[in-house]
Amino acid sequence: MDTINVDATRAGASKTDVARWRRAFPILKNRVRGKPLIYLDNAATTQKPWSVIDAVSHFYEHDNANVHRGVHSLSQRATDAFEAARARVQAFIHAASPAEIVFVRGATEAINLVAQSFVRPLLAPGDEILVSAMEHHSNIVPWQQLCQQTGAQLKVVPIDAAGELRLSEYERLLGARTRLVAVTHVSNALGSVNEISAICAHARAKGVPVLVDGAQAIAHVSVDVRALGCDFYAFSGHKCFGPTGIGVLYGRRACLEAMAPWQSGGDMVRSVSFGRTEFMPIPHRFEAGTPDIAGAIGLGAALDFVSAIGLDVIGAHERSLLDRAGAGIEQIPGVRIIGTARHKAGILSFVIDGIHPHDIGSILDGDGIAVRTGHHCAMPAMQQFDLPSGTARASFALYNTHAEVDCFVEGVRRVRDLFR
């Protein structure tokens, strides 16, 4: 297993750098339908490096025990590793304290936790929750259900033809009845990067809390939750080279301390009698039951892996991949890119005239190229662009190469030619 040379990688991503990064991911040696795997579905989930696989395996081989509950050595080691992972997350997103880091199953559970425990007690009929038109279903449906339950209203900030948030409309919609702004950092369907600092500043001026869905941002851009000014930040480990089933809710201390537990059970209680229950302090009061200990440890290893390379280096490399792919796709007649914001992450959604996205994905799979097709859990955004069948989406990560991008572009050209 290769180690990462921090000083070398911070200078920029060369072919040698990328080749070394790729060797850290065993799945990339696989072949699909007899062809080398070209994995361009990173917005759905990323692959896992050896350091993450080894961290999870080591826990189960050497330290497996429940946390917070035992005095024996294994339990103490498990607890130390679990809480060390929490500290790694805190450092990675620049939170003020490990107490502001809540382990959950993923961004979806994090958003639902905020909806039920923080926002629901604030709502009265006629109050408003503000979301954007580019949101993932996970940042729409929980608020929609909450509005149905309380008589509140869901307000939607529109996006323009490029897939950019209309900030002037956001400012107009941000009103006296707004109780929360919930907005994505990076659109999973369009790649648009939102101006989170500006969004938070406008909300803060009116005393409105902000939740940011960071699932698509966490592995691609530097996140400083205090500099952004958000009250909550949610992300999933599996989109940042970590295990599935583990995620994080960052909550500003004052917000978390104002919240009652959403789920109840073991480990989140200080004392229980049939007369009353006293809950643990934050963050443990939100982590009922046995947590995904191995997942948290694996997530910590994933963040270490990303930090060793540097998000500045990763971002520059992914930008070069996106630029190369976009330039190649634009040269193919009948192919149209969906989402052309000025600030984009490494996501390229596209359609080919007269060809269903599922057919595009199936044919590319025959060449070993994995892309995502359909609505990308962002049906309202697809409706805005009048795309009832959705798009095909290539999404890039640090281990993708320019040669893979060229194969992808040529694959799209062959798909188009098959239907001419």
Element (H, E) at 157: strand 153-157
Note if 377 is an active site residue.
Answer: yes
On whether the CB atoms of residues 395 and 43 are closer than 8 A, the answer is yes
Q: Which residue has the tokens 């961290």?
A: 55
Q: Which residue has the tokens 């905020």?
A: 114
Where do the DSSP E strands lie in 268-334? 269-272, 277-279
Which listed residue (200, 240, 377, 407) is catalytic?
A: 377
Cβ contacts of residue 70 below 8 Å, gap of 6+?
76, 79
* Rounded distance between C-alpha atoms, residue 301 and residue 312, angstroms: 19
Question: Could you tell me whether strands 153-157 and 128-132 are parallel, antiparallel, or unpaired per DSSP bridges?
Answer: parallel
* Rounded distance between C-alpha atoms, residue 336 and residue 341, angstroms: 14
Q: Max Cα separation, the chain? A: 74
On whether the CB atoms of residues 299 and 85 are closer than 8 A, the answer is yes
Question: Could you tell me whether strands 153-157 and 277-279 are parallel, antiparallel, or unpaired per DSSP bridges?
Answer: unpaired
Residues identified as active-site: 377
